[in-house]
Amino acid sequence: MAQAAPHDRLNEALGSKYQILCHLGGGGMSQVYLARHRFHGGLVAIKVLAEHLAQEPSIVSRFQREARMTASLGNHPNIVPIFDIGEGNGLYFIVMQFIPGEDLASFLRREGRLALPQAANVIAQVAEALSCAEAKHIVHRDLKPANMLLDESGRIKLLDFGISRITDYSDGLTRPGESMGTPYYMSPEQIRGEVCDIRSDLYSLGVVFFELLTGRRPFDNETTIATQMAHLNTAPPSLLDYDPELPAQCDAIVQKLIAKQPEDRYQNTAELLSVLIGRGATTSASDLRPSVERRLREVISQADGLPLDVPAMSTATPVSSAAVIDQSEARPVAPMNATTNGRQTPHVEYPASELIVPKSSSTRWVAVAGILAVLLLGIAATAFWLLRPKASVAPAVTHAPAPAPAYTDGHGRMLLVSEGSFQFGAAADHTVRMVSLPAFYVDETEVSNAEYRRFCEATGHQPPTTPDYAAHPDYPVSNISYDDASAYATWAGRRLPTEEEWEKAARGTDGRSYPWGNDPWTGNVPDRLQPVISEPLRRSPYGAYNMAGNVWEWTATSYSPTPADNAGMKRLLKGQNFSADWRMIKGGSFAPGASEEFDTAKRRGLPVDARSLWIGFRCVRSAP
């Protein structure tokens, strides 16, 4: 009997969990496919080890170790996360986050070399990823533009830790004297097959920096051997030989990175990042944008219309403990002037009185929740019927909503928002329409100072500089950027809500104007922040606190600023030093005079690097 084709064998190996949509690409080591989770619809990339290599136990071990190592790096915004690993039908595969984008090698072929600020930003972003790996004593060993993915928000994502190994640790998979990597970017000690540490990766990063700025590599000989010998023995050229307009300080940074001896280089990523940021570089998302093939966009669009399989409760099997997110439209973006991983960089604050009313755009998120969400689905319909808001709302708030179905994890209590349609938008700006959403969970409260402190202490993320942060742990965290909020959400296994999700959680399904009803809040409105559990009679129909007032809340929905919006920001900042990427904020705040903003349909937009004492956030996660 003839053996099944690889595509069919892969579908069989994936079982009832994933559906292959198309082939994304690959090389001699592996092939990558776009797939869709059959139960929740999330898109993932599946990397399959080449069949001829699957017969080699040592190579299989390396391939599987790639998944384990990358998974150990958590959900760093500059590293593509691994969700699952498996085997079947003689195939070995890794399930990872799908991120539409373009690798930097392809980008450079298409666009040519980068301007200095763009190149420095790319290097700083990759250094952030290496910093995470360095903390776990992991060396990448194959840094090159082809392993650096540019996503649609301008974020760099580091790929392929497949030949990395733990620093100073011999596991028998990399033999003494064996050099692995791409010759153009390999450090001298790596070519010699010696033990490598983070300084080897920094050498490779210096080669990439040189290439980004000049359009060529420092050593680009005709043969592999000649290239390797040049890395070992030939002094690197100066950037100024190719572009005399580049600053001498920039050349000094690159020369230090690609010094022959490890002790002559930067000794760790923190040292490099300190120098880059001190010279004005940022670790935020760049203004570079990838070219995504039209064919791939069509496949992504068509996948959204495919029917989902509904597994039986007793046989459903989760993908993994991590949520799988379709990144084709859900794009966390870093700010231009962010506080990142413990390093403070300049930022701006936007007073509540200066917030600009925007128009909006919407986005779609698809994800998988935890196992407990599956168990709760059986009671969701009944709970929705019992807890749904009444058609008419009393003019005054007289009682709190009934408790909603919920679960509690290590990051707080989340409330179930049942699937179905609701009235979205406001008649005043002609945005009213019916929107149908799948079930999801929403944080009962805004993220508090105490909870955000746990995140900062666990990750080294820079805490906000507000008087309330230490003095009032039960107040909502504020004065944080969109990127700060996204980083917390990733750490907690959650995400920021879309505008539609936020609005449904705030107003329910009866078209009310405010979480508590249709009457505005005209008296005794607080004029300063309150604890995250406050005003119990003004909770949303699902039981969420402070979805009107306390702090404005970031959402994941993009916003295209109008000329008036940009003019307002320029006037406020007396310049143009703010991000071109804007996001919706919702809910109003207790800032004096802001109570007119409590309408749940009210829309405002801010640059992702905006910070204010009156801006915070809450998270959501999807249910099956």
* Active site positions, annotated: 142
- Give CA separation, 564 vs 336, 352, 355, in Å: 21, 17, 12
The closest alpha carbon to 368, from 317, 413, 405, 322, belongs to 322
Task: Assess contact for 444 and 406: CB atoms under 8 A.
Answer: yes
Q: Residue 607: in which H helix or E strand, if any?
A: strand 604-607
378: CB partners within 8 A, 6+ apart: 313
What is the 8-class DSSP label of residue 587? S
What is the 8-class DSSP label of residue 8? H
Alpha carbons 20 and 105: distance in angstroms, whole number: 26
The closest alpha carbon to 276, from 245, 244, 258, 254, belongs to 254
The first and second tokens of residue 497, run together, are 């809500």
Q: Any idea which residue has 């230490």 for tokens?
A: 470
How many Cβ atoms sit within 10 Å of the Cβ of residue 182?
A: 18
The closest alpha carbon to 484, from 343, 299, 289, belongs to 343
What is the 8-class DSSP label of residue 575? S
Pairing of strands 582-586, 552-559: antiparallel
The closest alpha carbon to 276, from 249, 258, 246, belongs to 249
Alpha carbons 609 and 606: distance in angstroms, whole number: 8
Pairing of strands 348-349, 610-611: parallel
SS (H, E, C) 107-159: HHHHHCCCCHHHHHHHHHHHHHHHHHHHHCCEECCCCCHHHEEEECCCCEEEC
Task: Assess contact for 586 and 553: CB atoms under 8 A.
Answer: yes
